[in-house]
Structure 1
Amino acid sequence: MNTLQEHWNKIFKETPEEKLGWYESEVTQTIRFLDGVNFENKLVFLPGAGTSRLVDGLIENGAILILNDISNEALTALRKRVGNPEKHYWYCGDISKPLPKEIPAVDIWIDRAVLHFLIEDKEINGYFENLNRIVKTNGYVLLAEFSLNGAQKCAGLNVHRYSADELIERVGCNFKLLKSEEYVYVNPSGGERPYIYTLFKRNGA
């Protein structure tokens, strides 16, 4: 059986970017949802960055990025596309496992469509332990995942669908929900994918 990394490497190696089921040619929904958040010289963590065009949008807004993915194929393709790649941090690894201690605390954590691939409670808990460890006081967290009405599978894998209430519970009492929104994403093949978008802010000291 292929490992999870082999599964994702095969997808990113063999599927044209614009045919990926989560591909967005423009990323206005995510940027709009973060309206009012200043990205200039802010450190932003992107779990499951893949080859997302969100990376380009954040760089255009002045962010410095920590780009994580389990697929080295995805990060290699992204590194080739991103200008000045040495300005950013690159980490190939499973986001449900403890992050290396050298990864610095971040101002913003943005997850579009990664958390829902974690199925077991141990994996989900590991993800949120990482999030709680590295997001700074007064930092922001955006979680955009398949909603309860969303697809049950993606990229050949089962997914865990979320409500806003579950995301509030999972992120924990250190964070305050600023807003949540149902959003229907239309994928490259024309399929509708209902998402739940939530934005949190870490409580001040």
Structure 2
Amino acid sequence: MDASGRQAHWQDTYRAKGEREVSWFQDEPQPSLDLIAQVAVSPASAIVDIGGGASRLIDHLLAQGFQNVTVLDLSEAALTTAQARLGSRAADVHWLVADVITWTPPQPYAVWHDRATFHFLVAEADRSAYLARLTEALVPGGHAIMATFAPDGPDKCSGLPVMRYDADSLARTLGPAFERVRALRHMHTTPWGAPQAFQFSVFRRTS
């Protein structure tokens, strides 16, 4: 699927479904919050949430005092949902409608968070482009928090195929410039009660 097709897909998804009608909805976005708290140096640390959409992660980060947070997503409709929910607090967030594989990062980031965007990149060229943006955006010594479906997780999401990873295969994919510092398994439960197996890995950029 090309960039215009990806954008149309996610625009249609967020226009057609309410916030709690998508499988990835979380009221309390754990373990993302715990992992960010462990690696963010200070409330001023620059954090980018890749594919953040309408996620409530941003609500919690603002409540915890983080001051330099960016949310990037293909879908303007998703970001509009998040902005409407936040009200006046939305002005404290940098909102970017962009495709991560063609995006030019406007600033360096200390923390790169991606819950379930990377696993949609099934073409090698798209994964390579993503990793180039990750390397460009993340400061040396910065941390990338990457969550994907685990090997026993779904092989499709929102009608699209995904790549499933364990911590080792994800580390090989990111390559030697990223040192894995933590990995954990997480069982997400969809709003309709279906379990989905995820892996979360934290990497430090070493070069």
TM-score under structure 1 length normalisation: 0.92
Q: How many residues align?
A: 202
TM-superposed CA distance for 1:4, in Å, is: 1.9
TM-superposed CA distance for 1:116, in Å, is: 0.7
Match of 2:72 among 47, 54, 68: 68
TM-superposed CA distance for 1:137, in Å, is: 1.6
Alignment of 1:89-104 (within 5 A): 89-97=94-102, 99-100=103-104, 103-104=106-107
Residues 1:131 and 2:131 are matched in the alignment: no
Query: Is the contact between residue 141 and residue 205 of structure 2 (CA under 8 Å) also seen in structure 1?
Result: yes
Alignment of 1:14-163 (within 5 A): 14-38=16-40, 39-63=42-66, 64-82=68-86, 83-97=88-102, 99-100=103-104, 103-163=106-166
1:192 maps to which residue? Answer: 195
TM-superposed CA distance for 1:33, in Å, is: 2.9
> What RMSD over aligned residues (CA atoms) do the two structures have, in Å?
1.8
Counterparts in 2 of 1:94 and 1:149: CA distance versus 1, 3 Å: same
Alpha-carbon distance in 1 for matches of 2:61, 2:172: 28
Query: Is the contact between residue 36 and residue 111 of structure 2 (CA under 8 Å) also seen in structure 1?
Result: no
- CA displacement, residues 158-187 of structure 1 (integer Å, 9 cap, x when unaligned): 111112112112222222111111111111
SS, match of residue 113 in structure 2: strand
- CA displacement, residues 44-100 of structure 1 (integer Å, 9 cap, x when unaligned): 111101100111111222222111111111112222223333332222121122x22
Q: Which runs of 5+ in 2 are unaligned?
A: none
* Residue type of the alignment partner of 1:87: D
Identity over aligned pairs, percent: 26
Alpha-carbon distance in 1 for matches of 2:157, 2:139: 31
Q: Which runs of 5+ in 1 are unaligned?
A: none
Alpha-carbon distance in 1 for matches of 2:111, 2:171: 17
Alpha-carbon distance in 2 for matches of 1:47, 1:114: 7
> As a proportion of its length, which structure holds more helix?
2
* Residue type of the alignment partner of 1:57: H
